[in-house]
Structure 1
Amino acid sequence: MAESVGDFSFTAMLDRMRRREKNALGVLAALLVAILLYEGICAPLLRWRQRQRAIIAVKTAQLQQLSTSLDEFRSIEKRLLLLQNMIDTRRRDFTLFSFLNQISETLDLGKHIVLMKPTHPETIGPYRLARIEMKWKDVGLDTLVQWLGQVEESGNLVHVQKLALQPSTENPVLLDVGIQVQTLER
């Protein structure tokens, strides 16, 4: 007796299948369940884990950069404290103009000074950045080197910012010098 098309029964269909067909259907069903489990649970977990590793790598790089920046900051802070200490222990009556004039007179450069002009000081925190522009005419190289050494190595935080040298028009052995010197003052 044949069943009609409208009376479809899964159990009746299984009864009519051979053992090999039943096994194949079971394998297909297991494969379908495995794919659904992988796509529904495993794949999202693997993607989440990969995102977390990428986030950790970025955060680790940021932490390393922050650590490097902190080390740089501490180094700059130490140098700043050292500079502040040097400025604070300098004589109270120290001025850049008188300091440069004194060194120039010591080396007998006073007669070679054509210009010694202070520029407008800039305020940096509790200090002023004082600059002086100087021009000399007919100065020997040895004398210039001595002057630069005394200025830079004085321990008064005086630095040569610009230096321009030209052979003297009157005596090619001597130099015409343009120089800009700066320091921090209270």
Structure 2
Amino acid sequence: MPMIATITKNMTKRERYAVFLTGAFLCLFVMVQFIVFPYMDGKETLKRQVAQKTKDLEEMLVLKSRVEALNQTTDLSRINFAGRDKDFTLFSFLDRLSGETGIKDHITYMKPSSSESKNGAYTISQVELKLKAITLKQLTEYLYGVETSRNIMFVKRLTLDKSVKPEGYVDVVMQVETYEKK
């Protein structure tokens, strides 16, 4: 304080007023710049972080529900897989199903093949079959039998062509796959 008194002693009242106003302005500026703005920025940053974390949490909940659904599907598949007959083969199942759905006489060929799965624990059994001149109703019944079977199989590829001779009939080439234990 004594230093300020010596400096301001030789000043006029107007100059002292200007110096004190400038000092007050500088103090206010420093306080706003280094205390208020960082506090406000921190608050905004915190709001953004909370919004991002909320979004991340929602995403995690969606992923959790997907994982739970996959786990349920996997458990159901394991149960169905364990309940499969010991002597089950995809070829014989498709042959029997074609007899049940009345399309056995329309089969041109059935080509079985197999390969190892990526993890090596299972064999991927595949049958390609060609059906000639069948109705869409017959095809639908056959596909329904394949897809709803407890033996866990699926149609990997399906090609339909208009049949040449009978009107309203189609020629079909399809690949059906399943997994079998080694």
Q: Pick from 68, 71, 74 the counterpart of residue 74 of structure 1.
A: 68
Q: Hey, what does 1:64 align to over in structure 2?
A: 58
1:174-185 matches, cutoff 5 A: 174-185=169-180
Aligned AA (1:81):
D
Q: Pick from 96, 102, 124 the counterpart of residue 96 of structure 2.
A: 102
What's the CA shift for 1:73? 1.2
Stretch of structure 1 that moved more, 142-151 or 29-38: 142-151
Number of corresponding residues: 178
Distance 1:10 1:152 in 2: 94
Q: Hey, what does 2:144 align to over in structure 1?
A: 149
Deviations 1:79-135 (A, max 9, x none): 111111111112121111000011122344333221101233341553333221100
Distance 2:100 2:158 in 1: 20
Deviations 1:36-73 (A, max 9, x none): 22223333333333333333332332232222212211
TM-score, length basis structure 1:
0.78
Query: In the alignment, is the contact (CA less than 8 A) between 2:114 and 2:123 conserved in 1?
Result: no
Q: Over alpha carbons, which structure has the higher Rg? A: 1
- Structure 1: segments with no counterpart, 5+ residues: 1-8
1:92 and 2:86 are equivalent in the alignment: yes
1:120 and 2:114 are equivalent in the alignment: yes
Stretch of structure 1 that moved more, 167-176 or 64-73: 167-176
% same residue = 28
1:25 and 2:29 are equivalent in the alignment: no
What's the CA shift for 1:16? 4.8
Distance 1:114 1:89 in 2: 31
CA, structure 1 residues 137+12, in 2 after alignment: closer, same or farther (shift >3 Å)? closer
Q: Compute the RMSD of aligned alpha carbons.
A: 2.6
Aligned AA (1:146):
E
1:111 and 2:105 are equivalent in the alignment: yes
